[in-house]
Amino acid sequence: MHFCDIVSPVLNQLFFDVYINKYSVSTDLDLSFQGGFNLASPYYIDHFVGSNVSGHIQVDVGPSKRSLPERANAILNGLEIYRINGAAIFHPNFRKKELLAVVFIGFFLGTLFFLFVLVVLIVLACQKWRSQRLSCPIDSSAQCSPLPVFSGNSYSRIIEMATPRAVAFSTSNLSLKIPLSEILLATNYFQEQFQIGSGGFGKVYKGILRDGTPIAVKRGARGSQQGLQEFRAEVELLTKIRHRHLVSLIGYCTEQSEMILAYEFMGKGPLRSHLYGANHNPPLSWKQRLHVCIGSARGLHYLHTCSCQPIIHRDVKSTNILIDEKYIAKVADFGLSRMGPHLNQTHVSTCVKGSFGYLDPEYFKTQQLTEKSDVYSFGVVMLEVLCARPVIDQSLPWEQINLAEWSVHCLNKGNLDRIVDPCLKGKVDSMSLKKFGETAERCLAQYGVDRPAMGDVLWNLEYVLQIHESKHCQQSLSQQC
């Protein structure tokens, strides 16, 4: 049975049921989902049924109970019927020798087919084993593994076979689907008092699931083509990877043209709110800032190295680094992420995406994307942590407006004290500050080839933390003496 929604003006408006010989075979069929959230996308379903005594097959389609009265409709674009009659080859006119020949040929062809399938399975298993050996996990807590199924009620749905180009998400992603009714209940129908933020994709709400689990709900703006692309990219990515320092996806919802993502709730909010701004929280200590930088660096390092083809975030900034109640930092917002170059490539060519003030100038000029673009953006975040000021501040003198340019100028002149957060002055060892500043400066090199890899940045940050803790221990011992 072939379907193609060429009648609906928008997505998620056409729901219908399919019957064969008056028996229901498909209920609430949604061509928007099966067609990859694209109108006029072809889709087919195979059914194996027996005919009645008359030899006739009756096929019916009709609106489902989910359809709105004013939009009730159903479509069927094509029908293919194959007849299988197992008794035909045993016609009485067949002679015994001919029957034996048919049986022998069938056995021979069946054996060849079995051997062929066995060889294919062995080759695929070898390729999978080789790819796993080539992958580069960071530690025991940073392995490429899919997310667990949503812990509440089971929302899994069974789908029929679809053409490859019509599949929106893999079948493993369907276990993460959450009904819209559950989202509405969790957020009290998206009341403003539950809103905790907003961004380019849409508004963010805090919600509580029925089992008491707090979640962050990101609701995309309807009709946004860019939002749809970011939504699909984030679902596809976060269902394939998992790491302690990456925000976990709990589920998603696409009912009634909605684009809703549900994440684990990060109680302390974005890093930026702990550095400056209207919602400025109490200042973080130097040790807390280092732990936040180390955690987010681990998350980015995992993205860059968890497989032979790196994942490039493309929008690393202080609002996309979230902190939980234990001050553990996690990288969030993967809507702009994309796969990086293969092992035999140096870069991927793509249109420029990112946030002003954090954007890699080399990527901006050449449109050639590598992992080093994330390194540059992370260097800007490190300067935010060090200086506790916005990356672009129009209220400052002209030469100080851009944080990256001003900080590099001061670091080159040896004037680190001019840019350090006043809350840190006199409380942090100078060697620790100097090493931190040098690492950030290397991340901001003009050319990507001169910037360190994310693993080197992580190593340097851990070294800065060791310097700080050793000095702190020495001071504590001297005070006790």
Burial class (CB in 10 A: 0-12, 13-18, 19+), 42: middle
Do 209 and 182 meet the contact criterion of CB atoms below 8 Å apart?
Answer: yes
Instruction: List the structure tokens of 480.
Output: 């006790």
Residues 6+ apart with CB under 8 A from 211: 151, 152
Do 299 and 331 meet the contact criterion of CB atoms below 8 Å apart?
Answer: yes
Instruction: List the structure tokens of 437.
Output: 């500043």
d(CA 50, CA 423): 78
d(CA 264, CA 250): 6
Tell me if residue 450 is catalytic: no
Do 311 and 340 meet the contact criterion of CB atoms below 8 Å apart?
Answer: yes
Q: Which amino acid is at 306?
A: C
User: Which sign, positive or negative, has the C-alpha torsion 10, 234, 43, 177?
Assistant: negative
Largest CA-CA distance found in the chain, in angstroms, rounded: 109
Strands of the 59-63 sheet, one edge to the other: 23-30, 15-20, 59-63
Distances (CA, A) of 19 to 16, 55, 64, 66: 10, 17, 11, 16
The single residue of 315, 374, 421, 429 carrying the catalytic annotation is: 315
**Is 218 annotated among the ligand-binding residues?**
yes
Helix/strand/coil (H, E, C) string of 319-359?
HHEEECCCCCEEECCCCCCEECCCCCCCCEECCCCCCCCCC
Helix/strand/coil (H, E, C) string of 38-86?
CCCCCEECCCCCCCCCCCCCCEEEEECCCCCHHHCCCCCCECCCCCCCC
Nearest one of 213, 225, 222, 226 to 254, comparing CA atoms: 222
The set of catalytic residues is 315
Known binding-site positions for ATP:
218
Known binding-site positions:
218
